[in-house]
Structure 1
Amino acid sequence: MKRSTISIAIASIVSLPAISYAQDNEAEVQSSEPERIQVIGSRLSVRTATEGSAPVDIISAEDLVAAGFTETAKALQYAVPSFNFPSSSITDGSDAVRPASLRGLSPDHTLVLVNGKRRHSSSLVHLNGTTGRGSSNADLNAIPISAIKRIEVLRDGASAQYGSDAIAGVINIVLKDNAQGGDLNISAGQTYEGDGEQVKLHGSFGVNLNDRGAIVFSGEYHDKGRTNRAGLDPRQQYPLVDGELDPREDTFDRKSHHVGDAEFENIGLFFNADYQVGTGELYAFGGFSERTTKSGAFYRRALDARNVLEVYPDGFLPILAPDTNDISIASGYRFDLGDWFADASIVYGESEFNYRLENSLNASFGAASPREFDAGTLLHDELNVSFEVSRLIEFYNYSDLSVALGVSYRENGYQIKAGEPASYEDGGFDNRAAGSQGFTGFRPDSEISESRDNTGLYVELENQLTEKFQWAAALRYEDYSDFGNNTSWKVSGRYAITDELAVRATANTGFRAPGVQQLYFTNISTLFVNRDGELVPEQSGTFNNLSAVARELEVGALQPEESQSFSAGVVWNGYNGLSLTIDAYQIEIDDRIILSSSLIPSDSPAVADALAVAGADNARFFINAVDTTTRGLDIVLAKEYDLAEYGSLRAQAAYGYNETDIDAINLPQILDGLEDKLFNGVEQTRMTRSVPQNSGTLSFTHDYEKLQTHLAFSYFGDYILENNAGTQTTFGGKWIADLSFRYQATDSVAVRLGAQNLFDTYPDKQLPENQFNGIFQYPNTNAPFGFNGGYYYAEVSYRF
């Protein structure tokens, strides 16, 4: 193979023919020249997904929008069964940046790339009862669908290739790169219930740069209304009047809570550019998104001690209204360096999460309390600098050995900025609760500004040793400024038994360095407690591993999670466009990081002594405490049919199964016997069964003249949640149907009409004892497909 051909392959991580969710129509529309193929999981191979040694799903831009989904993460959830994006409500910041994950593992076990370069994660830490509690993840919804050419999902451990966070796999988002033309789209819709109204305007266009490159601009404006499936609140709302119920009880709107999707307004702009300079190519891409989300907390009744009647005579619903901002910029140069092909790049990303409260109150200020608060800001930034070279070297029996070498430097910073004083101070009014209702602001003693850096060295080898056997290996060494070094490796192979049938397998070790969010996040509240008639300040909250509390409890510095993974699969490339892949895997992870439950003095004498020395009343913290094993199976089947005068049909089916078991819970000696306290049944069930073990999709896309019909059935299997009393609830599996019709009215204009959740399916209702007086009828933290019911929409597209 000529070096120039390899250069083109290495320079872009692009699409595949239709084999596992994939089709390459986009490339054909945008360019008349053939495009060399490369898949994540190998920096060097020019192969299709079924020819590789690891399972890769390819989702084209057309497939992402076929069912009318307006959010990138949700579209991906319905395209890839092993990808989880559950809905949540009344979970503080997680209502704005929801957790997403692969293979039932933690959200921070999945690495997200854009054009093959690492993307930063969110500054938000999931603190409440969602899947992935205690983790942070990249916000996929910060990347507009209109900017995406395709998404590649590597369902295999890849820490040795791409570094930390790739234990479960890698999601690579490939941006549009067309040198001319573009699109403009407007869509609108609402739920069958009449809420959740959405309007979205998005599009992109490419500009030819003097026939030496191109730049593509993409953007979106998205306005979404809230949904609300709260039950009616039957409780007494007002203080008694002369011993009798207040007459306003009869007229009070008892749908006082907001249990459903948050409302938001989002603006996003992205660009992707390349330009030939000499024998090399300059490239750059990036963008920003700005989102304001509004979601409810628990309703404060008029008679609640947290309310002040002079301010809210009928009670109030605190609204968490965070501003979420993401920016990213990447630039680099690809060029020939003697016999090597080189790629030098620098990438910077930043996530800002500003906690704001509306319709709130600091009851300790009495009637003088503000109603809106700035409760503080979380900031995470990441800088990546890398240089890699690759080439082919003559090898055994005249075959070529692909070699890639690289060095990378990464720096992560984390900041917590205190909120305005009124969001956390005690105003002293009537011994009322201090701090803004809905979310108490970050205090000055929670402020922090820390960073860490690491350097990585890696080598990848790949070789087609014989006509039937291909192998690959990778080795990576990383040195971190805060916990030391780690070495991981990966080997893989593929053997073609016949032209149609092949087997493949991989074995690898991996690691995930503790996130700077887990290392440095702290949120300490000072509570004034009555001790023998005297108000005494006591500290409680989340303490980081630098704190005196962590030191006294001998929690120790956080260490990386380490994994050992194995997978084996069968690949069948049949006749007439048929393909089938079956892959089984096992992932063992040691020292998983969890966010503990709160410890209080009564838990044990040793805990009481440690808290007293640290001056804390109660504490929770991040700790390496759990060993797990995850086993699973992925099956993908695709077929294309030529129906002659009746058009063409693409049929795709996929099934994913995963099961996680807890092997051990490891705690410091001082915490012996507190396993059920720090990592109780609620948290164990959340880690192992809060996402479906079985999931699948079956979709059909029929093209006939100017009409395209898309019909998809998605299955979300049963899942289990546990309450604090130890009662487990199993929510049954459900099928969700999506149907859309797209009509190409002219060469430029198309109209799409469709319905998501066509048959208005809801999850099972919670047990009565878990419904909080009938208000939380549906599970509000881990519903796989949400609890909004059906949604219908219309879209008009213009191509130019």
Structure 2
Amino acid sequence: MNIKTTTRFQPHALTLAISLALTGTSLSLQAEEAQPAADAKVEKIAVLGTRVSNRTATESAVPVDIISAESLNRGGFNELGQSLQATVPSFNFSRTQVSDGSDLFRPATLRGLQPDQTLVLINGKRRHNQAIFGLNGTVGAGAAGTDMNAIPMIALKDVQVLRDGAAAQYGSDAIAGVINLSLKDSTDETSGFIQGGGTGEGDGDTFSLGLNTGFDIGDDGGFINLSMEYRDADGTNRAQRDIGGSSTTPPGTLSDEVRWGQGNAESKFKSVFYNAMLPVGDYELYSFGGYSNRTALGNGFFRNFDEAAKNVQQLYPDGFLPRIFNEAQDTSFAAGLRGDISDDWQFDLSGVYGQNKYDFDSRNSINASYAAEYLFNNPDATDADILANVGPTSGYSGGFRFDQTTLNADVSGLVELGRNEPLYVSFGAEYRKENYEIVAGEQASYACGLSNADSAFPSVIDPNVYAGCGFQAYPGLRPDAAGSADRHSYAFYLDLETQLTDDWMVGTAVRFEDFSDAGNDLVGKLSSRFQVTDDFALRGAISSGFRAPSLQQSAYTAYTTNLNDDGTLSPSFTATAGSPFPSALGVDSLKLESSENYSLGFVFNATDDISVTLDAYRVKIKDRITLGSLLSAEDVAFSPEAVAALQATGADQANYFSNSVNSTTQGVDLIVTYGTEVYDGDFHATLAGNLNKTEIDSVNAPEGIPENVALDNEQRSFLTDGQPKQRATLTLDYSKNDWRGLVRANYFGETNVTYFGHEHIGLPQELSPTGSFRDTSVVEAAVLVDVALEYQFSDSLGFSVGINNIFDVTPDELGEDEVLDFISNKAFKYPVRALPYGFDGMTYSAKMTFSF
């Protein structure tokens, strides 16, 4: 018997359902996907795996957005994260600058929560997380989410975004919601694109190309679909001339050229993905996976010529800008077998392997202690001698590895109850194995002098100042930080759904999951939808959830360079959970986060042309895991044991992970769609908005530990104010004959964090030219307008042009009362943290698409 995937089998009964327990998953279409073709909507739902394939697109009990590949690729974006941010207001994709490796990855979040509280699937299977997370005062700091930009958009058929807690269906990481990426399965067609673009400032030139093709395998519906994508992007720089001085320019005088870097890193992206299915008798053998490699060359802070601890003037007489070369490699492979058990029951057996490697190289840098040790041992050395013994200026600083293997066995079907509607049932089990590794850098990247001494040496510039050890900008990972950790988990779940009456549908789910290192939890979900009239329905859900601490959180340790309160840079240490420093402060281990999710909304088909969905939500999270702020010996002076533990690390300050906070996030999602005919063309308008607010309910400070040590103002500000509390998009789309145009307005609310404000860096107020530094760093609310125009020359050739942020909106420039303006010697033009829309300004692109 021949079997069609889109009409018979769920890609994954556990992970793709947005189905039984998600109440049949009829979906609310988002943004440009809100088209009137009902048949197309029903087909999309079938691909998602619902057991109730005759439901329409507005019959879900929880909000789910479907964004087609066509919509994703409109507007000139070439990164998946950027495209999703432009179409799903509850999805945020913050920019970060000068933050130890965050030049390559960006935190992808739903509803203002952490990146690792959103689960990402591919074809309904759990996607592995990245091996690294943001460290230095960033949105999503300490959370190793999924790297959305590792997946090429050319490979995607559509993206489904479930905006509701779903841990009872999918397990850990699904507190905020689920994003499922469906790979293309088309055959007998080759399509692709060539795209180029840049910024209005004349930098950031980007070239990209993609190719997708598919082939039938046999005569029974088998196929293989292949995708390739390549991107090469120049960096951008919005820094200005600085007043740091040089060998020929006294401090306080503007430099002759721009020496700092503030902008997107120079980057490259290469990827190949595949999706395949082969009928085997009455069953289907399927497989998919891919490989991607991304590199980026980012910047650190500029090191001034006279900074004795950081520079060697014989090598860099005018100072230097250290660079950080990032490389990320992602590999994934999935295989499975699915088929019928009987006319009413199906099974799906699958295995998925995913790996992320992340490596750092320091470039244009220096280990100032090499020259310092040489001079210490050779006090009569000449400048030429010092230069000859200055040590390497580049090298490997270390890396991180994470891999995950997931095995699933899922069964789904129906039980007749003697009523019009049966009971739809899904149950199964999951086993997951994870490994995490920290790889040490080469000796020069972390050592104190060539001899790798236990203490520092007087600097070459000033013998009263000790030279810094390790490469500047990204000191290498030391051998004592290197190591590996692993764990496993298993889970069992049950999903049920039925129509109690013709108008009332109820779904429920329960899941038990046990982690070898963090314990176990039993969670559940109840969802329902009631059709009040033909055009109006109420929907809602109540659920409990959990998230296990990741290995990246429980096993991470490293030395980094951070800012002291006086604006200088010093070595800092992140301690593993249970090590002496956090233990001295009452934190011996990490435990599960737990959550309670509530949602209530309605669907209203006001007319044949207008549809409205409104969903309110409330997410309470207990024992939320955070990466603490760096603590100095002065900060922990109340605990002699903690002071001794800090001194033993050799760092000036240290931080650690803990279950530090209980929080509540609540908000409202609104989507209004309108479609009609205008001048013999099709016009569609979509208004999509999100109001979101996170509040700290309480702080879990161990007995005897001050609350501001467990959770300080810097952490609070990123949790509560680091992402916009208001987001909205208004999309106007018009097509006629071979022409199509789009205008989209994106609204971003204000962000306000203490990082790089006076509350973070307590500089003496008299240093401010205005007499007072601003307490916080603010990125103002803004509206960015995008326009795009397309023309289809033929069925096989099209051309489009687009301008994003056509009015060149950027955050307000830093003033003299800004701490960041002072510590960057006026080099930085804009804030560098909590940037929801970046500071590149206007960008443009031109794209040629083809198919044959």
Q: TM-score per shorter chain, which class?
A: over 0.9
The structure-2 alpha-carbon separation of the partners of 1:314 and 1:41, relative to structure 1 and needing over 3 Å to count, comes to: farther
Contact 2:414 2:424 in 1 (8 A): yes
Indicate which of 214, 228, 231 corresponds to 1:222: 231
The partner residue of 1:504 within 532, 539, 548 is: 539
Kept in 2, the 8 Å contact 1:729–1:767? The answer is no
Deviation at 1:274, TM superposition (A): 0.9
User: What CA distance in whole angstroms lies between the structure 2 residues aligned with 1:6 and 1:53?
Assistant: 22
Counterpart of 1:334 in structure 2: which amino acid? R
CA deviation digits over 1:15-68, x for unaligned, max 9?
98883336399999xx99983624869676653442010001111111111111
Q: Report deviation, 1:623.
A: 0.4
Identical-pair percentage = 38
- Specify the code of the residue in structure 1 equivalent to 2:233: K
TM-score (ref. length: structure 1) = 0.93
Does the 8 A contact of 1:234 with 1:254 survive in 2?
Answer: no
Aligned to 2:580: 548
Aligned to 2:382: none
State the 1:580 CA deviation.
1.0
Moved more, 178-187 or 469-478: 178-187
Bigger CA drift: 118-127 or 360-369?
A: 360-369
Query: Matched residues in 2 for 1:94 and 1:27: separation?
Result: 41
SS at match of 2:45: coil
Structure 1 position 577, deviation (Å)? 3.8
Could you tell me how far 1:475 is from its partner in structure 2? 0.2
- What's the CA shift string for 1:177-208, capped at 9, x where partnerless? 10220212000011000011100011211111
Quick one: which of 464, 472, 481 aligns to 1:437?
Answer: 472
AA matched with 2:8: I
Q: Over residues 718-759 of structure 1, what are the superposed CA-to-partner deviations in whole Å (9 max), with x where a residue is unaligned?
A: 221224533135433111111111111122110101101011
Q: Which residue of 1 aligns with 2:22?
A: none
Which of 694, 697, 702 aligns to 1:663? It is 697
Match 2:127 to one of 100, 108, 119:
119
Whether the 8 Å contact between 1:698 and 1:714 is mirrored in structure 2 is: yes
Alignment of 1:690-705 (within 5 A): 690-705=722-737
Q: Tell me how far apart the structure 2 counterparts of residues 729 and 526 of structure 1 sit (CA, whole Å).
A: 21
- Output aligned runs, 1:97-108, within 5 Å: 97-108=105-116
Partner of 2:21: none
SS at match of 1:146: helix
Distance across 2 between alignment mates of 1:640 and 1:24: 8
Provide the C-alpha distance between the structure 1 equivalents of 2:50 and 2:183, rounded to a whole number of angstroms. Answer: 19
Q: Deviations over 1:681-734 (max 9, x none)?
A: 222111101111111001111111111111111111122122453313543311
* Correspondent of 2:832 among 775, 780, 796: 780
Change (3 A) 1:35 1:556: same
- Relative to structure 1, the CA distance from residue 607 to residue 441 in structure 2 (aligned partners, 3 Å threshold; closer, same or farther) is same
Paired residue secondary structure (1:316): coil
- Tell me the amino acid that sits aligned with residue 102 of structure 1: L
The letter for the 2-side match of 1:216 is N
**Residues of 1 paired with 2:395 and 2:578: CA distance?**
29
1:272 and 2:275 equivalent?
A: yes
Provide the residue aligned with 2:324 in structure 1: 320
Q: Which residue of 1 aligns with 2:178?
A: 170
Indicate if the aligned counterparts of 1:22 and 1:57 stay in contact, CA closer than 8 A: no
Is the counterpart of residue 299 in structure 1 residue 302 in structure 2? yes
Q: 1:436-457 deviations in whole A, cap 9, x for unaligned?
A: 1110100010011110110000
Q: How does 1:207-356 map to 2 (within 5 A)?
A: 207-211=215-219, 212-238=221-247, 246=249, 252-305=255-308, 306-338=310-342, 339-356=344-361
Shift of 1:551: 2.9
Partner of 2:764: none
Matched position secondary structure for 1:275: strand
| 8 Å CA contact 2:664, 2:695 repeated in 1 | yes
**Alpha-carbon deviation of 1:774?**
2.4
Gapped runs of 5+ residues in structure 2?
18-24, 372-386, 450-455, 460-465, 563-569, 760-774
Spell out the pairing of 1:557-596 with structure 2 (5 A cutoff).
557-596=589-628
Relative to structure 2, which stretch is displaced further, 7-16 or 773-782? Answer: 7-16
Alignment pair present for 1:137 and 2:145: yes
Correspondence for 1:52 among 52, 57, 60:
60
Among 689, 697, 710, the residue aligned to 2:742: 710
Q: Which of 725, 732, 737 pairs up with 2:758?
A: 725
> SS in structure 2 opposite 1:412?
strand
Secondary structure of the residue aligned to 1:463 is strand
Aligned residue number for residue 765 of structure 2: none
Residue 610 of structure 1 and its aligned partner are, at CA, apart by: 3.1
| Aligned-partner residue type, residue 235 of structure 1 | G
Contact 2:475–2:559 (8 Å) recurs in 1: no
**1:85-144 Cα shifts (integer Å, max 9, x gaps):** 011111111111111100011111100000110001110121012111111110010000
SS of residue in 2 equivalent to 1:475: strand
Q: CA RMSD in A?
A: 2.6
What is the rounded CA distance, in whole Å, between the counterparts of 2:498 and 2:732 in structure 1? Answer: 37
- d(CA) in 1 for partners of 2:139 and 2:406? 29
State the alpha-carbon separation in 1 of the partners of residues 739 and 133 from structure 2. 45
Match among 687, 708, 711 for residue 679 of structure 1: 711
Further displaced range: 513-522 or 211-220 = 211-220
1:23 maps to which residue?
A: 33
CA 1:636–1:151: 2 relative to 1, 3 Å: same
User: For residues 729 and 437 of structure 1, do their structure 2 counterparts lie closer, same or farther at Cα, with a shift above 3 Å needed?
Assistant: closer
Kindly indicate whether residue 825 of structure 2 is the aligned counterpart of residue 793 of structure 1: no
How many Å separate the matches in 2 of 1:145 and 1:446? 36
* Structure 2 CA distance for aligned equivalents of residues 516 and 741 of structure 1: 46
1:241-295 CA distance string (max 9 Å, x none)? xxxx658998944411111111101101111111111111111111011011011
Deviations 1:290-324 (A, max 9, x none): 01101110011222221112222222111111111
| Contact map agreement 1:330 1:347 (CA 8 A) in 2 | yes
Separation of aligned partners in 1, 2:793 and 2:526: 51
SS in structure 2 opposite 1:491?
Answer: strand
Contact 1:408 1:456 in 2 (8 A): yes
* In structure 1, C-alpha distance between the alignment counterparts of 2:703 and 2:806, rounded to whole Å: 54
Aligned residue number for residue 532 of structure 1: none
Mapped partners of 2:731, 2:480: distance in 1: 53
CA change 1:696–1:396 in 2 (3 A) is farther
Deviation, 1:466, is 1.3
2:375 match: none
Which residue is equivalent to 1:365? 370
State how far apart, in whole Å, the 2-side matches of 1:485 and 1:597 are: 29
Q: Secondary structure at the match of 2:538?
A: strand
SS of residue in 1 equivalent to 2:717: helix
The alignment partner of 2:436 has SS state of strand
Structure 1 stretch displaced more, 77-86 or 740-749: 740-749
1:739 paired residue number: 787
Deviation at 1:574, TM superposition (A): 3.9
How far apart are the structure 2 equivalents of 1:313 and 1:476?
Answer: 63
TM-score (norm 2): 0.87
Instruction: Tell me what 1:10 maps to.
Output: 10
In 2, are the aligned partners of 1:651 and 1:698 still within 8 Å (CA)? yes
1:372 maps to a residue whose letter is: S
Q: State the 1:491 CA deviation.
A: 0.3
Equivalent residue, structure 2, for 1:493: 528
For residue 676 of structure 1, give the secondary structure of its aligned residue in structure 2: helix
Distance of aligned partners of 1:549 and 1:247 in 2 relative to their CA distance in 1, 3 Å threshold: closer
**Does 12-21 or 584-593 show the bigger shift?**
12-21
More displaced 10-residue stretch of structure 1: 468-477 or 634-643: 634-643
Q: Which amino acid aligns with 2:31?
A: Y
- Farther off after superposition, 779-788 or 627-636: 779-788
Q: Which amino acid aligns with 1:776?
A: F
Task: Give the match for residue 687 of structure 2.
Answer: 653
Aligned to 2:769: none
User: Contact (CA 8 Å) 1:39, 1:45: kept in 2 or not?
Assistant: no
Identify the range of structure 1 (304-313 vs 416-425) with the bigger mean alpha-carbon deviation: 304-313
Greater mean alpha carbon deviation, residues 682-691 or residues 158-167:
682-691
Aligned twin of 1:531: none
| Matched pairs, number | 777
Name the structure 1 match of 2:442. 420
